[in-house]
Structure formats: C-alpha cells, structure tokens
Structure 1
Amino acid sequence: MDIQSVDTYSIAVPLHTPFKTALRTVTVAESIFVKVTCTDGTIGWGEAPPTHVITGESLASIKYTIESILKPAILGKRLVERERLFESLHYAVVGNTSAKAAVDMALYDCLSQMCSLPLYQFLGGYHESIETDYTVSVNEPDQMAADASQYVANGFNVLKIKVGKDDIEKDIKRIGAIRERVGQDPLIRLDANQGWSVKESIYAIRKMEDLNFDIELVEQPVIAHDIQGLKQVKDHTFTPIMADESVFSVQDAKRILQTESADLINIKLMKAGGIDQALKINQLAEAHGIPCMVGSMIETKVGISAAAHFAASQKNITRFDFDAPLMLAEDPLDGGIDFQGRHISFSAKNGLGITTIRLERILSQQT
C-alpha cells in the first residue's frame, strides 16, 4: 500500500466564546486539514492549526510546507516501511512541527486502518476511555469564578485555569475567587503560558500553598527557553511543575529530564511534529519516572481525535486536555472521538474513525 496523493484544505470554525490566555485571544478555530490517499483507496486525515505565538506557524506556512516540502518527501512511499516513511517526513524540513503533525497523524490513520484497528489500539491500547479537563479563560476574577462554577455544574471535575496576564496579585485573586465559588472538590491546575518571572512564580505558588488553594500543578510558569529558571521554580515550591512550551522535541525533553527541571511534561502533537516523535518523548519521560499530559491547541475533532488516541494508548500519559472541540460553535465533522461531557470514548472503527463523506462535503463547500 503506497501513498498516492496528499491534499490540503483550509477551514475556519467560530468559537462560541472567546478563548483567552496570557499569549493570545482566539475567536475562530482556523486549520489546515490534510487528506492522505493510498493506492488501495484508504484515506487518512490530519489537522494543523496555526499557533503563531507558540510554533511560529501560519495558515500560509503550514499549507506551503505540506504541499511543497512534505508531500514530495512521502509520495510513492510504502506505509509498511514506517521507519523510512517517518524519517523522510521528520527530516524534510527543520521546524514546522504543526505541518509535520498533520501529515503524521494522517499517516497513522492510514496505518491503523491497514491493520484493521482503532488508532489507540494500534499504538498500545492502554485506556478504553479517558476524561478531559475544561479550560477557564483568563478574565476578571468574578467572571472566571462564574465560568468555573458553570463548568463544574456541567460535570467537569478538573479545571485548567489560565493565568499569567496582568499582575501576579490579580492572578492570586483569580484563583481565590474560583476556589471560593467552586469549593475544594474540583481539581485545579494552572497554566501561566510563560507569563510569570521566576520570582513571581515562586512567590505566587508559595502564597497559594499557604492559602490552601490546593493546586494540582502549575504549567509552564516561566519563559520557554529559561530551563534554569523553570528548575528554580520546581526546586523552591511544593506544587508540581509541568513543562509545556519548553518541550517541543525529544532533545528538549532530554534536557528537561537530565536537569530535573520539571515534574511533568505536556506533550502536544503540534509541538512534537506528530505521533511518531510524541511516542519517543513519552518513552523517554517514562524511563525517567516522569508522567506526561497530552494537550492541544485550538483544534477541531480531527486533530483532537489523533491526540486523544495517542494519549489513550500509553500508560505513562496520566492527564488529558482535550476540551477544544467543546469550544466550537459547531462540529465540522462526523466520527472521531465521542464526547459525553468530560468523558471521551473511542469507536470500534479503524483508524481515527472519521466519517469521510461528511467531512468531504463540508470541505468541498469551502474550496
């Protein structure tokens, strides 16, 4: 079974509520969809959203990289020669990890279909189902408390709170307001998106520890390149620290693990360049006794399905952040993973389980 064609499509789906972090505000989920067709008719799907402030990629750069660089690198290659295939993909261009991830997940969709297995079973099959957190966008404290209360009422028992915008005292007030509104039962994890300095991080985390805010973990408190600073925060607080933007590649993960600079690692396919490299990052972390979370950008169910299948397949992945499709005003496809509140389940269909007839109809309307 050889790779016969690679096609790209641009999509845009509005969010029902603006998504706000320390780095950006998103109102529309834009993506490039990738369709890989094999010589036997098998079709695999992938997705790459532009996340300028994290990966540095735009819609235009993703589309160009896939069509002009990655497509020529894999056309005609055999799926069964997977080591050669993913080597060709990974080394075709430096960086451009989201573009690589979209093609990578489409190839894995094809591979697992070829083996007549759902992707999560093809990759390892550790979990039959998983649960996602829900993200509270950064806003005024009262608004964030109201949002958090609504998400808990909707059945979410793990909240990911965005902080890192404005001053540090306001961030502490945000968490205080949320804890006062929702009580101590919901699990709360913080994501500063690189928005704090080292001193601010240590001060804020220690103060929240003293106030008994019971924070599960703090994600990427300092700027991505400051590994020494990240380690300082980890070494001077009791709350677990998770590296996110600091880890794109296997080499990044190795640096974090060797320096003992984080307690956990957040793997995202858009940073890693796809499932092939994400598996290697997780295996390296597991060898060092460091658990991982799998997260995502603002994506549709194409990319999130691939990330969820990967996450569910691995024992060392213990936390899941896949709420992005729940933020969309509409679902642009049928199939893929199924959401029942915080619960995510996988169909018995092979691969990602995406229903291509529905997807192709929507895409044809936009091209």
Structure 2
Amino acid sequence: MPIITKVEVIKLNIPYKEPFVISLGVIPSATNVLVRIHSSDGFVGTGECAPFVFIVGETQETVFELSKQLAGLLKGKDPYELNERLAEIDKAVYANYTMKSAFDMALYDLAAKRAGLPLYQYLGGSNNRDIYTDMTISIGAPEKVAADALRFQEEGFPAIKVKLGTTTKDDVARVRAIREAVGDHYPIRIDANQGWDVITAIKTLQELNQYNIEHCEEPIASWNYMEMPKVRQNSPIPIMADESVFTHHDAMKLAKIGACDYFNIKFSKSGGINTAIKINAIAEAAGIKCQVGCMSESRYALTALMHFVLASPNVVHYDIDSSLMLAEDPVVGGINYEGKGLWTISEEPGIGAEFDEDYLRGSEWMVV
C-alpha cells in the first residue's frame, strides 16, 4: 500500500502589477501557500491556495501554521483513499476552507497522476470547448476604470468585470464611464463584494440597468443572505452569490430560498475541488448556472480550476484572470494564455503544472 511519506508547505509571495482594490480592502500582492504531498510510489501532488483575510478569515500565516496539523494527520496514510482523506481533512479543523483547498488539490493531483490522466479526464470531463476568461477592473475613478475597460476590450477579452460596492452615485458614474468608452454591446459584469445594504443594492441595480449589465455578484453582506431574494426580486440585473456560498451547505440554503441566479465557485473559498463538485451538482439540480472565480492564485491553481471547468458543463462564466494581474509567473507547464481571453490546457497527467524550484528557493518552507 502506498503511503504519504512527507508533506511540504511553502509560502508563495507574488506582487501584483498594481494594487487591486475592492470594496472590502486593498490587495498589494498574492500571499499564497503551496502544499506538496509525497507518496511512497514516487508521485508528488501539489496544491495552491490564496487566502483573503477579509473574505475567508484566513491569512498566509494561519494557513502555514495550521497546515502542520493536517500534514501530520495525513502522513503514513494511503493518499489514494481519496474520500477518506478528504473527510479526515474536513473534520480535523472547523472551516479554514482556503487551507483545506490546497490539500484537496494536492490529493486530486496525486490521484490523477497515478491514473495517468489529465485531471479533467479523471473528473469525467472532456477538453471539447474553448474557455475564455473575462478581465477584472478594480475600484477607481471613472476615468481610470474607463481607460482600463477600453484597454481590455482592445486586448480582446470577451467581457469585463467591474468592482463596485461604494455609493450609488460613484458606482453609477464608474459604469457610465465604462459604457461610454466600450460602446453599447460589450459585456459588462459587476461585483459589489457585499458593499451595499439592501436599499442601496436595489436602488443601484435599478439605476445600472440602463447600462446593459450581465449580472451582479454579491450585492449585500453575506450574513444577510435571507434578504437576497428581496434584492433579486427587485433587481432587473441577475444576481450571483459569491461570498454567501462557501460550501455545498450554503448552496443548498440559497437554492431553497431562491436567493440568486448564479453561484460563483472558488476553490480557495469552497475547500477545493471536492466541494466545488458538490456545489455544482446542487446548482444543476436547482436550475442555477455557475461561474468559476479566483482570489490571487497563480497560474497553477488556475490550471486546476480549468480542469474542473472542463468536467462541469453547468459552469458557463469564467473569471480566471488572477495570474494575468501578477507581476511574476513562477509556474512551469499548465494552462497557457493565448491572448484575447483564451486559455488552453495541456494533456499531461494530473494538474499538469509545477512550480519553478529556483523561484521557490527563497521562500519559507516547512516539511512534515
């Protein structure tokens, strides 16, 4: 029986090209964590997570320290008893879904490598459709966001996502400036990141309707999810749940009350691939379509996300852009950006990507 011989946990720090601003705070750099699980049969599985403290309540430091507990729990056990290992990880620590997602990803990488299959095939999918990401614009002055929108349109991205969540006046001014810059028909999506109260959300969404918006992510505070149906009923713009849907349990609650038109699935929020599959299954059963999104992941975790997309036809929107905002790319292999929003993927077994060892050499490591 193969066993887990050691687990490496590595801090990964990558600066943004420019600070990223959302209603919840400013993000100057990616402060991620890598997990590498070594098996006695010679395979190594890698996972990456990106903690946003103001969304998930985790930091690089908390993930790094708590990973000792999960690594010690896994060591000496069969990594290919996937359901058993994932259940142990889930029970070992309450919440901490970002940390758990790195271990989940590493175990899936191991399992697919051992099977000799790209992860999307291991998950039952096919590489039979083109995946184009939108591009996200952080909160800024109207002239700045309009210039960014026009640049992304000229670069060929099929859609843009605009961060909002301030005042009705300022948010409408941003979207108006963007619409004037890009024309009437270029797809615009918006994300308030919980920035509005219920009254402001309804008022702002109604005023923004004239600008042909595809959908709005998380208009109100996630704790106030019982009011989401009211926002949805009074909004001419479709509503997407993001911070209010961490796990499949959240997805079930939101589906029951008719809170939204879409779920946004992020590995670092959901706990990884296993829970993402469950969220998508609930969405399909409830007639809800899904988007995949990201935090500050490098191209590695985005590659894993792409594998999930190729195995999930119910996922119809793709916000796979975080690595395009980073100043450096430490990943070897994996998905390749072809321009104009298009990602392509290799057919290597597992996730099909690794990290440049020279890049990691200066990072803080822990071996369990």
TM-based fold match above 0.5: yes
Note the residue ranges of structure 1 that are not aligned, 5 or more in a row.
none
Q: What pairs with 1:1-367 in structure 2 (closer than 5 Å)?
A: 1-67=2-68, 69-128=69-128, 129-165=130-166, 167-209=167-209, 211=210, 213-341=211-339, 342-355=341-354, 359-367=356-364
Q: Is the 8 A contact 2:50 2:296 kept in 1?
A: yes
Distance 1:354 1:177 in 2: 40
Distance 1:246 1:270 in 2: 14
Deviation of residue 347 (structure 1)? 0.2
SS at the partner of 1:258?
helix
Distance 2:40 2:343 in 1: 32
Distance 1:72 1:110 in 2: 18
Deviation of residue 360 (structure 1)? 2.2
Q: Is the 8 A contact 1:45 1:302 kept in 2?
A: no
SS at the partner of 2:353?
coil
Distance 2:317 2:77 in 1: 35
Note the residue ranges of structure 2 that are not aligned, 5 or more in a row.
none
Q: Which runs of 4+ in 1 moved over 2 A?
A: 126-129
- Identity rate, percent: 37
Deviation of residue 239 (structure 1)? 1.4
Q: Is the 8 A contact 2:300 2:354 kept in 1?
A: no
Q: Is the 8 A contact 1:97 1:272 kept in 2?
A: yes
Deviation of residue 364 (structure 1)? 1.9
Q: Which moved more, 1:79-88 or 1:282-291?
A: 79-88
RMSD, matched Cα: 1.2
Deviation readout 1:3-26 (Å, 9 max, x if unpaired):
221101112111112111111111
SS at the partner of 1:65?
helix
Deviation readout 1:57-99 (Å, 9 max, x if unpaired):
01111011111x2112222222332221111111111011111
Deviation readout 1:94-121 (Å, 9 max, x if unpaired):
0111110001101111111111111112
Distance 1:171 1:274 in 2: 32
**CA shift in 2, pair 1:126/1:225, >3 Å:** farther
Distance 1:82 1:172 in 2: 48
SS at the partner of 2:313?
coil
Distance 1:195 1:254 in 2: 24
- Supply the AA of the counterpart residue of 1:46: G
Deviation of residue 124 (structure 1)? 2.3
Distance 1:116 1:278 in 2: 23
Distance 2:180 2:124 in 1: 41
SS at the partner of 1:366?
coil
- Supply the AA of the counterpart residue of 2:320: F
Q: TM-score, normalised by structure 1?
A: 0.96
- Supply the AA of the counterpart residue of 2:360: L
Deviation readout 1:201-226 (Å, 9 max, x if unpaired):
111111222x2x11000000000011
